[in-house]
Each structure stands twice: as structure tokens, then as C-alpha cells.
Amino acid sequence: MDPTSYEARDAHSVIHGLTNLQLHAERGATVIERGRGVWVTDNHGRDYIEAMSGLWCIALGYGNERLAGVAAQQMRTLAYYPLTNHKSHPPVIELAEKLLAMAPVPMSKVWFACTGSEANDCAARLAWYYWNAVGQPGKKKFIAHKLAYHGNTIAAASLSGVGYAHDRFNLPLPGFLHVTTPHHMRHARAGETEDQFCDRLIADIEQLIAREGADTIAAFFTEPVMAAGGIVVPPRRYLEKLHNLLILNNILLVCDEVVTAFGRIGEMFGSTAMGLKPDMLVCAKALSSAYIPISALMINARVYDAIARQSDAMGVFGLTMTYSGHPVAAAVALETLKIYDEMNIAERVRKLEAPFLGGLNRLLEHPLVGEVRGKGLLAGVELIPMKSEGETRVPFDPKLKAGPLCARIAEEQGLIVRAIGDTIAFCPPLIINDAEIAEMLRRFRIALDLTAAELANAAG
């Protein structure tokens, strides 16, 4: 690499997440300089379809002048003010009111942070605070799914069920429990129907609760659709039975809607789409279309009223963050929600679901494609090699890294996707149109063909 290039300078000075750091020092970064709509352009002038919305988040695409204008105006009007010591400002008040008005179930108050990780971390802390407030301090444990992703603070990474967030980080912390991923194709037993699969998983959770003691479990965290876990759409029957089990055992339900909120899967909230009624709901990412960091934790009256009483008894509510409810972020988020309303964004996603998921499902004829999973404008294509007729398809040897290979080849074709193991994830901006979906599918099919050829060459 030219030592004066962005690539070399980046490798010399920046630490990258979800990256092989040693390999990065040799390979360097793809340096993105600008974006417009669903397209981004690197420092060499090459264009790409950004089919992952960055990290699941830039829902309104790049270059939205309204959001830029609102941010600039708010910076001029009130660039910063905290929410501590009985202080507030108009943007955060209006944003909280808007979120409460559109919440999928009745909510009482909103706590603001900067990232989904922070909001999930705060949800865990507030669950502890709540159970202490109501005289059940023994309820300290949390349950989440294997392969779930809830963030990367210490608590949120412990909630997450992915090895890369735990290994060599001394995580998860004690008391963070994980149950089977509700993915029928991957985890069903031979001949097990989806209903039987759901019943078995719920029975396993019921046994876990009995073994640990319901009086020790504070909350269950779940995503309506598991995004970073490989785009797993849990069976609705499973989620309904899970919800009933939690109510029966007096365990709080926290819905992590960091990816699914604001139209991504065809409803404004994934909780609505999947029939969930959370006690707490976390949203971020599309809340500001990623134009500025902000997250929100909505809390129902049951939880809020108890923590308010406890804060009064203690004289102060001890949870605070410098940038909680930042006025610029709140103003941008509020404008983002207005744009979603004007676009009728959830209906737009429902209309685009057919060409998007339909096009991906047509790739099931490809010898590398074993399963397509998704809802709305969120999908995963799992690469599984074709076997002879009648033989069960089995995953690739992990050493082949078929998914990362396909993602790299797709990028060479001007398409940015994400490999989650051997699942290729798609999460395009919600402003994508039919023609761009068609072009995205065309580039991906080429990438599949080239991946198949390279794997065949490697096999000999």
C-alpha cells in the first residue's frame, strides 16, 4: 500500500470492530467517501449498492437534506443541554411524546441513550432496579437466545449469544443465560414439525426457569427477528408461547428493536408484526436513520411507577449519561419519524417485500443457496452446498469461509452485503426502489456464480 493513501493511514491508526485486525493491517480498508440514496462511492470513485444500510441503520439512505438541515439548525439554536437535575429542552420532549404515541403497546416514559448497546445495558440495569423496588432483589438473572445480538457493553455483550462478543473478553457475566436459537431448519430434530419444534423449545425454557427458580430471573431479552444472528425469523407460535410463559413466571419481557423498529419488517415495530407485548422496548439505528447517534428505551407504567417511587425514597435516580436526549440527536430523530409518516414507510416496505424476498427466493435454484429467510426488507441467504438428489444438504466446512468469500466477491461486483457465517445478510435502505432491487439481485447472482466457481477450484 502507498503509505500516503487512506488505506495505509487507516491501517496505521484505526481499530475496526468485527474485523480480523492482523489481516486488516495487510489488506487495508474499503474507504467510503460519499453516499447518495442507496449508493456509496469509495475514494477511487467506484460505486456500490449499500445493501446493508451500513450496519442495519441508514433507513432513509444517504444525502437526506432535511435531516442535515434540521441538525444544522438545532446546532445553531441549542447545540447541547443535559437532562440532569430537572433540566430539559423542546426536541427531547417532542420526541418522547411522538415515540409514546406510536409505541406498539402502552408505554409510560422514554429513557434516551446514544446506541442500542447502551439502551439494552440500561434496560438490564432498570430491570434490576425495578425488582429491588418491588421487594424481589433475588431476581437478577437474564435469559436471551444463542446467536442473539444485543450490543457490546459488558452487560449487552453478556446478553448477546455470540462467541465473538465473549471469547477472551471474560464474558458472559454470571447470571446471563442463553437458550436455543428458534431456527427450525438449523435446530429441528429429524422429522420434527415447526409446531413440535416450538413446543420443545418452550419446554426447555420452562425447565430452565424451574431449575434456576423464577424468583431469580429478572427479564428475557428477545429480538422480534434476529438480525446479526443470521436473520432468524422465529415462528410466531414460539413467540406467543414464550410471552405467555414469561407472564406466568412474572419475568419481564424486553424487546430489542434496534434493527426491526420503524418499518423494517413491514410494521412500524417488530413487536406488532410478531405479536409481542414488551414491558420495555429498545430502539436505535433507524430512529435517526443513523444520521446521528441516538437510542431510546420505552418503559411501561408497571416498571416506571416502581422505579420512580424508589428514586424518591433514595432522593435521586442514579442512572445518567452525558449525551442522553442530546438536542441535536432528538431533533434529527423527530424529523426522521416525520419523514416515515409522510412516506407511510411500513406500507412501502410491505409493497417492496414481494420483489425483494421473491427475488431472493428465486435464487433457491442456485446450487449454493440452501435457505432464504426474511421479512419486509430484512433477509438472509444461507449458503449450503447442493448434494446429489435425495441427499440431505449439510453446511460448508467452516474452514472454507464460503460466506465471507461470497461477500468479498459481491463487493468486487459493486454490492455491499454482510456475511454472518455462511449467511449473506441483506438490509437495504427503506428508500430502495424496484429498479435498485433488481440491480442488487443481478449483482448478487453474479457473486454467487463466481463464488461457486472459486469454491469448485479450491476443491480441486
Given this model, what pLDDT does residue 391 score?
64
pLDDT score, position 138: 98
State the average pLDDT over residues 228-250.
97
The whole-number pLDDT of residue 26 equals 87
User: Residue 297: in which H helix or E strand, if any?
Assistant: strand 295-299
What pLDDT is stored for residue 394 in this prediction? 86
Residue type, 63: G
pLDDT one-digit tens code per residue, 397-414? 999 999 999 999 999 999
Produce one character per residue of 343-377: b if its CB has 16 or more CB atoms within 10 Å, e if not: eebbebbbebbebbbebbeeeeebebbbbbbbbbb
Give the start-to-end residue ranges of the domains of the chain: 31-63+344-459, 66-343
For residue 460, pLDDT beyond 70 = no
Q: Give every CB contact of residue 37 below 8 A, 6+ residues apart in sequence.
A: 61, 62, 63, 429, 431, 436
Q: What is the pLDDT of residues 44-82, one digit of tens each?
A: 999 999 999 999 999 999 999 999 999 999 999 999 999
Q: Which residues contact 314 (CB under 8 A, 6 or more apart)?
A: none
Sign of CA dihedral 302, 133, 161, 153: positive
pLDDT tens for residues 311-355? 999 999 999 999 999 999 999 999 999 999 999 999 999 999 999
Mean pLDDT of the chain: 96
The three cell numbers locating residue 198: 416450538
Cis omega before residue 172 (within 30°)?
yes
DSSP 8-state assignment for residue 215: G
- pTM for the model: 0.96
- Whether residue 389 is predicted with pLDDT greater than 80 in this model: the reply is no
Strand partners, 383: 369
Model confidence pLDDT, tens digit, residues 16-44? 999 999 989 888 899 999 999 999 999 99
Please tell me the class of the 31-63+344-459 domain: alpha beta
Domain range 66-343, CATH architecture: 3-Layer(aba) Sandwich (3.40)
- Residue 45's nearest CA partner among 31, 58, 55 is 31
∠ CA(51), CA(52), CA(55), 5° rounding?
Answer: 160
pLDDT at 390 over 60: no
Edge-first strand order for the sheet with 252-256 is 109-113, 295-299, 280-283, 252-256, 217-222, 141-145, 176-179
Residue 421 CA to residue 431 CA, distance in Å, equals 27
Query: Could you give the count of Cα atoms lying within 13 Å of 327 in the half-sphere of its Cβ?
Result: 17
Query: Which pLDDT value is given to residue 406?
Result: 98
Q: Which three cell numbers stand for residue 227?
A: 438480525
In what side-by-side order are the strands of the sheet with 418-420?
369-375, 378-383, 423-426, 418-420
The three cell numbers locating residue 383: 449458503
What pLDDT shows up at residue 132?
98
What pLDDT is stored for residue 212 in this prediction? 98
Strands (E), 192-250: 217-222
Residue 294 to residue 92: CA distance in whole angstroms: 11
